[in-house]
Chains A and B, each alone.
Chain A
Amino acid sequence: MENTIKSIIDKYEGDKGFLVPVLQDVQKELNYLPREALDLVSSILEVPISYIFEVATFYKAFSLDPRGRIQMQLCKGTACHVRGVPLIIDHVERELNIKEGETTENLEYTFETVNCLGACALGPIMVVNGEYHGQMNIAKTSRLLKKLAKESEKSEEGKS
C-alpha cells in the first residue's frame, strides 16, 4: 500500500494543495479510504491526520468504509425525483435490507444515491458498476436486483 500511495503523491509532486485529487486517486486504487492509507498520506504529505479527516469527511465522494463488490448508484436529481425515484429508493432499501449510503454486511452491495448524473432523458437512472440502466421503475428494479443476485450467486459458486 505504501508504494501505491507514494506513487500517487509523487504524481502531484508532493504538493499539499492536491490533497483532494490525491485522496480521489487513493480511493480509486483501494475502493475506499482505509485508516492506514490516510495515516500514510498524512505522514508523506506532512499534513495532520485531523486535517485529512476534515477533508475526507467533507466531500461526499469519499468513503471511509469498505464498499461492496456491486456498486449501485441511483440518480436523485430533480428530474429523476419527479419521475418517481423516492419509490425506487424505498424498494431497493427494502430488497437489500440496507439504507441508502450503506453496504451489505457480506460486502456484496453498496447502494448510494447521487445528486445528478445529467442524463435526465433516461431518468430515473441506476448505474451499476459503471453500467447505465435508464427509465427505471419498480418492476425494472426488481428484475435488475434478481439478475444481480443470480450473478453474485454464480460468482460465489465459482469461488468454492
Chain B
Amino acid sequence: MDKITSQDQLKELQESIAAKRDPDKTCITICAGTGCLAYGTQKLIDSFQEEIVKRNLQDTVELRTSGCHGFCERGPIVVIFPKKIFYQRVGLDDAPEILEKTIGNGEIIERLLYENPVNGEKLTFEDDVPFYNKQMRLLLAQNPEIDPKSFDDYISNGGYQALAKAIGSMTPESVIQEIIDADLRGRGGGGFPAGWKWDATRKAEGDVKYVICNADEGDPGAYMDRSLLEGNPHSILEGMLIGAFAIGSTEGYIYVRNEYPLAVENTELAIAKAREIGLLGKNIMGSDFNFDIKIVRGGGAFVCGESSALFASIEGRSGEPRAKYVHATDKGLYDKPTTLNNVETWANVPLIIDRGSAWYQSIGTEGSKGTKIFALVGKINNTGLVEVPMGTTLREIIFDIGGGIPDGRTFKAVQTGGPSGGCIPAEHLDTKVDFDELTKLGSMMGSGGMIVMDDRNCMVDVARYFLSFLEEESCGKCTPCREGVHQMRLILDRICAGEGKEGDIDTLEWMGQAIADGSLCALGGSAPSPVLSTIRYFRDEYEAHIRDKKCPAGVCKALITYTINADCTGCRLCVKPCPTQAITGEKKQLHVIDQDKCIQCGACYEVCKDNAVTVA
C-alpha cells in the first residue's frame, strides 16, 4: 500500500475499502478481548475458521475477531451482523451448530440468547439487551465492529479523518481551543483540563516536546484503558497524533502495563502499520508535521501511573515521583515539556475534533463533559464495561445496567476511585457520578473502577486490603506514606484479629490526615481515603470489631465461627473439602464442626447447597 500523502488520498482509501465491503454481508463477530480469551475463546475462533472452510462459506460469511465488547460476564460472546444477533456464553464447540442453524437456516438458537432477568424474556438482538441499550457508547462503539489488528477496519469506520481535518484545515492553536472549549478533563482520575495542559506545553520553551499516553492502568478492578488500547489501538494513536500536532511534539510514548500483553501486541501492530502508511513518521499527510511513537512496558509498579514516576521509569530509573512545583508541561520527560494524558482521554480527542466541541459540551454535567467508561465489577450480576454520560446515577449504573446484586443478596457499598478512592453506601446511590460529586462523598471517580460489595463484604477488611496494597506499592520516598500506611495497616490487622482497642478509630483518623498532608504525590496523599471513607459511613462496623469482637459480615477469621445448622441434610458434601477434617457426621444426619480443628477456611460454606453452614 502506498503512503498517504494528503487528506484526499485518505478519503480515497476509505472509499475504496468501503466499496469492497458489503454492509449486508453476514459477519460473525467474536469478542477476543482479554476477558473472553480467558474463557478459552481462541478454541471457538479456530473452530469457526475450520468449519467455515469445511462448509465452503468463505465467500458468503465473514469472520471477525474484535476487541472487548464489554459484557464480560456473558463471554464468550458472538454477534452476527448485520442484524446483530446476540449469542452469549457460547460453548467452545458451538461453532458447527451456529453455522448450521443460524447461518444456514436462519434459525435462532434459544439456548445462547440472553435472558432478561426482570421478566425472563429471551432477547435475540444486541440492541435489545438492557446492559447495552442503557449505555451511551461513544468510545467503546467501534470495539465490536473492528478487528484491532486490521487497519482497513479502522479506516472504513472513518478512522484518521479527525487527524486529516486537524492537519488539513485547522491550526495547532485552533485544535487546542477546540479541546479547551469541549472542556475535556483527564480520565486517569485527576480531572485536569486536557486543553490547558496542551496549551501550556505548546507555549513552553524547548526544542523537543513529548506526548505520552499513560496506559499504566494500575487501579485494581479497572480495565477500560486496556480494552480501548487492545480493542481499538488506532483510535489512541490518532488522538496522540492530533495532540502532538497541536502541541508541536515530534516524539511520543505509550507506557503500558506489562500485565497487558495483548494491548502491547495490538498497539505494536498498529504503530507498525501507521508507519508503513505514513501516518507516523516524517511529513505526515504531506504536511511538515513529523511524529513517531514508542511503546514502553511497565515493570509492575503501581506508582508508575503517577506522571513524574512514569517519566522516571521511561528514563530507565526506579519510579519515584518528584515534587510538582515544576509542571510536567515545562519540565517532564528528560526535563522537556511534556503532555501526559491517559488512554481514555486520548480516545476522546478524535471524537471532539470530528464532531466539534459544541456537540461534546451537550453531553454530561455542568463541570464534567462527555461520557465515562466504568469497569463494573465485584458482587454484580453484569460484570463489564459501562460507558454512560457523566451525571448518570450510581443506581442506574449498578441496578439498571449492572442488573443488581447476585444471589439475592443486598447492596452494601460501591468502591470507586481505586486505592485512592472510597466506599459509598446505599444511602448515596442516587448520586450523579462525575468528577465533583463523588469527591464530595469522600471518594472520587478516579479512572472508573466500580467495585460493588454486598452484605458479605467486611468494610474493615476492604480498608485493610487497600492499605496493604498501598503499603506494598509505596515507592518509599516520603516517610509519612512509607511508615504511616504501614502503621495504619498494623492497626487494622489488630482490629481484624479481634485485638482492637478503644481509640483506634481516632488514631486512624488523625494518622490518615497526617499522611495525606505529608506526602509528595497522590498515592500517599490519597492513601488514607479507603480507611477514612469506611470509617465515615461504616463506623458501626469498626466498633463491632473493636468492642464486640464481631465481624458482622462474617469475613475476619479471628472473629467468626462456622457452625452447621438444622437445615443440614447430611449430604456429606462438606466433609471432603475440609482441609483439617473438622467435620463429622453420619450420612443423612446432622453434621458437626469441631471448633478446635476449624481454621475458618470457608470451604464448607462454599460447597453447602442447603445453606446449612452459618457464619457468625
Contacts and interface: CB of A to CB of B under 8 A. Distances in A.
B72 A60 contact: no
A73 B462 CA distance: 21
A78 B35 contact: no
Interface stretch (A2-10, A103-111, A113-121, A151-159): A113-121
Contacts of B223: 116, 118-120
A79 interface: yes
B99 interface: no
B378 A58 contact: no
17 contacts: A16-B316, A61-B258, A61-B298, A77-B220, A78-B377, A78-B418, A90-B601, A91-B601, A94-B579, A115-B300, A116-B219, A117-B34, A119-B34, A119-B35, A119-B223, A132-B40, A138-B606
B469 interface: yes
Contacts of A122: 35, 38-39, 72
B387 to A, nearest CB: 16
Interface of A is mostly: helix
A159 to B, nearest CB: 30
B367 interface: no
Contact of B377 (A16, A61, A120): A120
A72 B318 CA distance: 26
Interface residues of A, number: 45
B318 A121 contact: no
A142 interface: yes
Given A16-B316, A79-B377, A122-B39, A116 B221 contact: yes
Given A79-B378, A139-B577, A120 B39 contact: no
Interface string B25-43: 0000000001101111000
B476 to A, nearest CB: 9
B188 interface: no
B246 interface: no
Interface string B414-458: 010010000000000000000000000000000001010100010
B494 to A, nearest CB: 17
Given A24-B299, A60-B301, A139-B603, A132 B38 contact: yes
Given A61-B298, A132-B37, 8 more contacts: A17-B316, A20-B296, A20-B297, A62-B299, A95-B579, A120-B35, A120-B378, A121-B73
Nearest to B263: A118
Contacts of A150: none
A82 interface: yes
Contacts, number: 153
Nearest to B227: A118
Interface in B283-299: 296-299
B272 interface: no
Contacts of A134: 38-39
Interface of B: 34-35, 37-40, 72-73, 75, 217-223, 226, 258-260, 296-302, 313-319, 375, 377-379, 383-384, 415, 418, 449, 451, 453, 457, 462, 465-466, 469, 475, 577, 579, 601-603, 606-607
Given A120-B221, A122-B35, A17 B75 contact: no
Contacts of B301: 58-60
A31 interface: no
B577 A142 contact: yes
Contacts of B218: 115-116
A105 to B, nearest CB: 22
A119 B313 CA distance: 26
B378 A119 contact: no
A81 to B, nearest CB: 5
A82 B314 contact: no
Given A78-B449, A114-B259, A120-B377, A60 B300 contact: yes
A83 interface: yes
Interface in A74-112: 76-79, 81-84, 87, 90-91, 94-95
A28 to B, nearest CB: 10
A81 B317 CA distance: 31
A80 B418 CA distance: 14
B451 A78 contact: yes
Contacts of A79: 220-221, 377-378, 383, 451
Contact of A120 (B72, B314, B415, B457): B72
Contacts of B579: 91, 94-95
A9 to B, nearest CB: 12
A90 B316 CA distance: 36
Contact of B462 (A54, A82, A142): A82
A78 B318 contact: no
A96 to B, nearest CB: 13
Contacts of A58: 299, 301, 318-319, 475
A117 B526 CA distance: 23
Nearest to B73: A121
A78 B316 contact: no
A115 B471 CA distance: 13
Contacts of B38: 117, 119, 122, 125, 132, 134
A115 B302 contact: yes
Contacts of A21: 296-297
Contacts of B377: 78-79, 120-121, 123
Given A17-B315, A58-B319, A61-B258, A82 B601 contact: no
A91 B601 CA distance: 8
B313 A20 contact: yes
Contacts of A125: 38
Interface in A41-86: 54-55, 58-62, 76-79, 81-84
B383 A120 contact: yes
A48 B453 CA distance: 48
Contact of A121 (B75, B313, B577, B602): B75
A1 B355 CA distance: 55
A23 B258 CA distance: 13
Nearest to B334: A17
Contact of B606 (A17, A115, A137): A137
B581 to A, nearest CB: 14
Nearest to A90: B601
Interface in A9-49: 16-21, 23-24
Contacts of B296: 20-21
A59 B318 contact: yes
Contact of A139 (B299, B316, B378, B606): B606
B465 A78 contact: yes
A137 B457 CA distance: 16
Contacts of A19: 316
Nearest to B314: A17
B343 to A, nearest CB: 12
Contacts of B300: 59-61, 114-115
A82 B451 contact: yes
Contacts of A82: 378-379, 451, 453, 457, 462
B314 A83 contact: no
A111 to B, nearest CB: 16
Name which of A24, A114, A138, A139 has the most chain B CB atoms within 10 A of its CB.
Answer: A138
